[in-house]
Amino acid sequence: MTYPYTIKADSEFAPVVDVFKQNFADGLEHGASVCAMRDGEIIAHMFGGWADKAGEVPINEDHLFSVYSSGKAAAAIVIAHLAEQDKLGYEQLVSSVWPEFSAKGKGDLTISQAMSHQTGLSGVTNPNWSADDWYDWDKTIRELEEQAPIFEPGSASGYSPVTYGFFAGEIARRTDEYGRHLGEILKQDLCDPHNLDVWLGLPETEHHSCTYMQKPRRLADLGNITPATKAAFLEKWSSPGAKGVEIWRAAQLAGSNCQATTEGLARLMQVFIDGRLEGEQILSEDMVEKVRKVRISGQDQVLPFELNIAAGVMLNYPNFSYGPNPNTVGHSGWGGSCVMADPDAGITFSYAMTRQDNSLMGDPRPVRIIEALYECL
């Protein structure tokens, strides 16, 4: 099959372009985009394939991709933005801003622990919960307040694919002076002023820019199934229900339904390097260190990986899904998307696609592209 491509890259990055195209030649892609930046400037921006199922609309720079949990990096930036404004502190108790959360032994959990998946609430355990209940923000918040932890809070990480967005979102809502949802803060304070297309809660007026998403054909390898894994992924209510893709895109899920362009994500990730967004100092050097600081290390209770988790993003080691440098931070999304920021090389990178695979982290398609990128640097 012949695919349309739009390539913006200097000749020195020709091997990166070759690998991007090879993913299509190998039958791994239907539509995909990559944006790589160095020191805030684009060095490679590539689009290939189709935005629609029928293969009639070529991907372009304005198309929005569903990048799922790659959007947790954007949520982390919003929390850091609130911390920079002294609206919250990472070592502050969650219960100090959200008193009801302290029920069932959760009163000693800090905001930094909540941001690093240490709540013990990787999913909802109530058998009466339904997949459609996730769309009711207040009902979900009450459920999480009343639920007993699956494991002792603060004792380990337990990746929380959907509930994480409600922890970050409610902390943001309760500390923002206007009571805005996290997605609204992201849009109004960070993305709109800098013309970035990154959305956590997409208005209907923007849905025409969204790409078709092909779901994975295989289940992910979740390794040893723990109670925390079961709650996170395997209950019939673990993910938001099928009310229609338009309702899902618009929902304030805060960390699991991000819609974005790859350029918007790559530019946003610069904040993790020097605290700057399009030249404006968003975070101080001290705050950048706090958001990148490892908060928990070891075997995750949900994912089959050892992880080093900062305040909303993953450190590159020991899995090295985001290139060779251990200080790189990043996040992956269901199906294969990923974002990363490397403070040592000054590199930010984002990858998104329309054909999902079953990778939880380290999808081979972006890994191949990242490896080629570093070989060119």
CATH of 64-376, one of 3.40.50.300, 3.40.710.10, 3.30.540.10, 3.90.1300.10: 3.40.710.10
Which secondary structure element, helix H or strand E, spans residue 76, and what is its range? helix 72-84
User: Is residue 64 within 8 Å of 206, Cβ to Cβ?
Assistant: yes
**Calpha distance 71→94 (Å, rounded):** 22
* Residues contacting residue 330 through CB under 8 Å, at least 6 positions apart: 73, 313, 314, 316, 321, 322, 338, 339, 340, 341
Look up the pTM and report it: 0.97
What is the pLDDT tens value at each position of the chain, 377 positions in all? Answer: 899 999 999 999 999 999 999 999 999 999 999 999 999 999 999 999 999 999 999 999 999 999 999 999 999 999 999 999 999 999 999 999 999 999 999 999 999 999 999 999 999 999 999 999 999 999 999 999 999 999 999 999 999 999 999 999 999 999 999 999 999 999 999 999 999 999 999 999 999 999 999 999 888 899 999 999 999 999 999 999 878 999 999 999 998 999 999 999 999 999 999 999 999 999 999 999 999 999 999 999 999 999 999 999 999 999 999 999 999 999 999 999 999 999 999 999 999 999 999 989 999 999 999 999 999 99
Per-residue model confidence (pLDDT) at position 356: 97
Q: Would you list the domain boundaries of the chain?
A: 64-376
* Residues contacting residue 158 through CB under 8 Å, at least 6 positions apart: 117, 118, 119, 120, 121, 122, 150, 151, 228, 232, 300, 301, 302
Which secondary structure element, helix H or strand E, spans residue 298, and what is its range? strand 296-299
DSSP 8-state secondary structure symbol assigned to residue 218: S
**Calpha distance 340→368 (Å, rounded):** 14
pLDDT in tens, 186-231: 999 999 999 999 999 999 999 999 999 999 988 889 999 999 999 9
The helix-helix angle for 364-376 and 14-25 (nearest 10°) equals 160
